[in-house]
Structure formats: C-alpha cells, structure tokens
Amino acid sequence: MSYQIGIIGTGNVAWHLARAFENAGHIITDVYNRDISKAKHFALDFFNAKATSKLNFNDSNAQIFILAVSDDAIAEIAPEIILPENSILAHTSGSVAMNALGYARTENQGVFYPLQTFSKGKAVDFSEIPIGIEAENKMTENALNSLAKSISNKVQLMDSRDRRTIHLAAVFACNFTNHLFTISKGILENRNLDFDLLEPLIVETLNKSLEIGPNNAQTGPAKRGDLETLDNHFQALSNNPEIAEIYRAISQNIIDYYSEE
C-alpha cells in the first residue's frame, strides 16, 4: 500500500526517512520547519512536497505524519499540531516515550524508530535498518508496520521501555565509539600522523566483535593487566588531563570486567 506522508522536521532523520519513503513509492505531501526557507530547501528533494512553517495540516492529504525533531521538542510541538481526521502521528525518538504525544490532537499516535545513525547526504541501506514500532491502537500499529516493512526487512514491535534500553546501548556502541575515534584522530594529528593508519584496525575490531562477541574480542594492555604500558600512556597524556581521565576510567572498567571472569 502506498501512503501519503507529512514530514515534521528537516534534520538528518527526517531527510533519510523521507527519501526512503519516496523511493518505496510513497508520496511526501508536506514538509514542516518553523523556518520556511529550511522547509522549502528540504522540499526541493521530493517530487510533490509542499513546504510550510505552520503546524495546521487540516487541509493536507497525508495519512501519516512523521514527527522527526529533537527529543526535547516533541512534547513542545505535539500539542500544536492540527491533523486531518483519522490521520496518524508518530515520533522517531528512541529515548522518548510514546505518551509524549499525549496532548496531540489525534488518538492515532505511535512511534516509528529507525535504529541507525544518520548524516544528511550519506546514503544508508534502509532494508537492513531495524525499525521499532509502537502504537496507541491496532489501526495505527497496522499502518506503521506496513509503512516500516515497505522500507526495511527488520521491523518489530518495541515498547517505550525496550526502546530506551536499546537507545542507551546504541549511544555506547555508536556515539561514544565515534567520539573515541575523534580522540584517536587528535592524538595522531598532534604528531602529524594520519588517522587512515587506524582504518584496518578499526574495521578488524568491528568485524571481530560482531563475529565472536565483544567480550571475547577484547585485547589491549588493560585486558592483559600490562600496568607498565598503561603508565606510559598516562605519561603521554599528562598535558591533556580530560583525555587522561577517559583513558583511566575505561581502562579500569576493562580491568574490573575481566578480573571477574
């Protein structure tokens, strides 16, 4: 089934979802941003999309509205949205409960949560992205499930508690890991060394962790209790106490984890 879809928000998640929906044969009817110039710029990427800076969609043909905004904006924006009769409103957050939509002017509320990191313009394969669905009623669940399955092979029902747990784990696996890459890059650049040197190591670490499990894949001085190397690294970080503290905390956590085995 093809849906007509309104997109509320113009960030990374909004852009990738809108692109995936259109590629799957759905129609993007409306694009909202309170800054009309941003809405117009976003809408240019989609065939029939109309840009708006108003949250009154009463005259829209959309059946499903995707609220893809920052977590703290969901409860603020939801009560202001005016939707066509019987339309669905779903937010995309992993950490915000469905009841954040409680004051929205529709009973057909839900969550459409794609478990992936998105950067605008960077292509992703949506067919492999897990999508978590939660809904206030069966009609909404069926529609969101149908929409999700049109773009992904990995769709499952996921309540707010499970979604928050998954989002927490994802922050460690994705956001924190990427920031550690940023720290590594800075350490190398201080000696005019290229971050590309670490690419084979990063790829092998990821592949091995997925193949044999992260707890089995762990190596390094903290795992083997090499205190001399740890001390040398602390000395090298003596001029950067914030990074040294991150190094100390993670190393101690590794030592504690494997000492219990």
pLDDT at 120: 82
Residues 6+ apart with CB under 8 A from 163: 94, 95, 111, 113, 132, 134
pLDDT at 1: 86
User: Mean pLDDT in the chain?
Assistant: 96
Q: Which tokens hold the place of 180? A: 């550690």
Intervals of the chain under pLDDT 50: none
Enumerate domains of the chain plus CATH numbers: 4-158 (3.40.50.720), 163-259 (1.10.1040.20)
pLDDT at 248: 98
pLDDT at 261: 66
Distance of CA 181 to the CA centre of its chain: 18
Q: Which tokens hold the place of 1? A: 């089934």
pLDDT at 208: 98
Angle between helices 241-259 and 227-236 (to 10 degrees): 160
Say how many residues make up the chain.
261
pLDDT at 103: 81
Cβ burial, residue 255 (10 Å; 0-12/13-18/19+): middle
